[in-house]
Each structure stands twice: as C-alpha cells, then as structure tokens.
Amino acid sequence: MKKKITLLLILTILLTGCGKDHNTIECIKADKQSSNTMILTLGENDEVTKVETIMDAYTGTQYQDRDYNKQKEVYKVFNEVKGMNSSVEKLGIDSLRVRINLIYNDLDIDEAKDKLEGLISDESYIIKKGINFEDFSKTYLNGYACKK
C-alpha cells in the first residue's frame, strides 16, 4: 500500500510539473526566406524572465559557408555577456540558424550595452530587464503569432 501511494505521488508530481512557477509562450513570425521564433518564459506578474530567439534564414547553397562564417563572427560577442549566449549553425545545405538565449536575472545590463554597442539599440529587448509580457508583446512582437 505504501509503495502504491509513493508511486502515485511521484506520478502526480511528474504529470503536474511540480516546481513549475512560470509560463512559456512561443511566438513565431515567418515568410518565404526566414522565420523568427521567440520563446518567452514568464515569472511573477507576467514579467519576462528569459528569452530564447531562434532565427532561421535561407542563404542559398552558394552563400551558406560565407554567411555562416560572418554570422559566427558577429554573434560570438553575445557569449561574452553575462546572462547571454548565442550559437550559429548550418541547416541542411542552404540555410542558417542563429540562436540567442537571454536570462534577465543573470544579465549585466551595463556589460551588454558596452559589449554589444553597435549591434543593439537603446530600444532593444535585450536591455529591457523587468518588462512584463504585455509591454514586451506590444513593443517587440508585432506580426508574431503567439501561443502558450
């Protein structure tokens, strides 16, 4: 009997996602040449706590290697900022994927502004720590389709 209760308790915890205190929202914007996906993690009061941005772009087979090398060079600086990381990868023979992960609680805003100068503006979501989903959506998700 004790084993059944323990097993039932473990199963309940796994199925209900114990410890999950946030919502995840996926937003997508696509056209024939590219797609952008933003996966937002929300904390208390719908504050955006994490942003994962995935950008897929068609390059054509003749430009994939050239564009891959350029993008790797551009996005490597994001890995030097506390609370951020990025990667660039080839998709098939004619496309690229750029991924940027941002954790606002770990982000050093001053370091981001300094190291990413020229790559981001003062209006970039990257430096908008403490923004709630509604404001984030109005400002940065125009044209995106979002779902929980």
Give pLDDT tens digits for 76-107: 999 999 999 999 999 999 999 999 999 999 99
Whether residue 2 has pLDDT greater than 80: no
Using CA atoms, how far apart are residues 144 and 95, in angstroms rounded to an integer?
21
Using CA atoms, how far apart are residues 148 and 134, in angstroms rounded to an integer?
14
Using CA atoms, how far apart are residues 99 and 63, in angstroms rounded to an integer?
19
pLDDT in tens, 11-22: 333 333 344 445
